[in-house]
Amino acid sequence: MAFTDEEEILFNSIGETVLKRLRKTRNPADLLAILRSEQKQFERAYMTAPAAARSSVACRAGCDACCHVPVGVQAHEVLIVAEHIQKKFSSEELENVIARTVAHRAAFAGKTNRAQAALKSPCVLLRAGNCTVYEARPEACRSHHSHNAAACGQNLDFSREEIDVYVPGVRGRMFAVMLGIDQAVAEEAGYDGQAYDFGSALYEALTDSFCAVRWTQRQRTFSDASREEGSENSDGESGVIHAEGFFQ
């Protein structure tokens, strides 16, 4: 999508900040903490969006249509959520989440994006209409806002977006933040930029501690079984913007 001048400035500012912080750290254990803190940029970008745009946002607690569609993520997003779960959830809650990711992985395996969307499968972390990892939720979840919750439900019934629910003045700002972070992480700093299916990759993150190690070593974090369909380019790599040296 094309950015406005203001959104372009936001994209560059966030990308440069994230890249500098990643390059400065010498302790791999601090990398996810840096990205977790930078996700607060979504809130700042939202709060500085035009008041008229923010007033038209219909999203509320318990509104969960968007939590029933496949979510593509990068590895660092999955690892941040997994870390949150391991710190905040009880042993029983953790076991339940893993069981749901097993079922999700089996249901999504080998299906096209369209077939996955048609399942209308709830996110493995959705409970009673609410996100159980809201503080650590993926970037796609942070960036989505709707001006019509009923229309979101209709789009879910259609299994595709037939009604435009996006909020001008908010959407571009959210995407500027998301693409700024992802550009810095994947294309500039060289960490895994492959697009993964969130539920499938979360299973691996919660059951294999070496996933985080591989990510810090700039290796492919999760298996091909968790890769989002159609996400790999001709070079066998994936990222948001393929241009090294974009940020200084």
What pLDDT, in 10s, does the model give residues 187-224? Answer: 999 999 999 999 999 999 999 999 999 999 999 999 99
Instruction: Count CB neighbours of 214 within 10 A.
Output: 15
pLDDT at position 125 is 98
Determine the pLDDT at residue 246: 63
DSSP 89: S
CB-CB contact of 136 with 80 (8 Å)? yes
Altogether, the residues listed in the chain come to a count of 248
Which long-range contacts (C-beta less than 8 Å, at least 24 apart) are formed by 37-40? 38/14, 38/181, 39/80, 39/139, 39/142, 39/181
**pLDDT attached to residue 229:** 82
- The two beta strands, 130-131 and 196-197, are unpaired
What are the structure tokens assigned to 195, written together? 């697009």
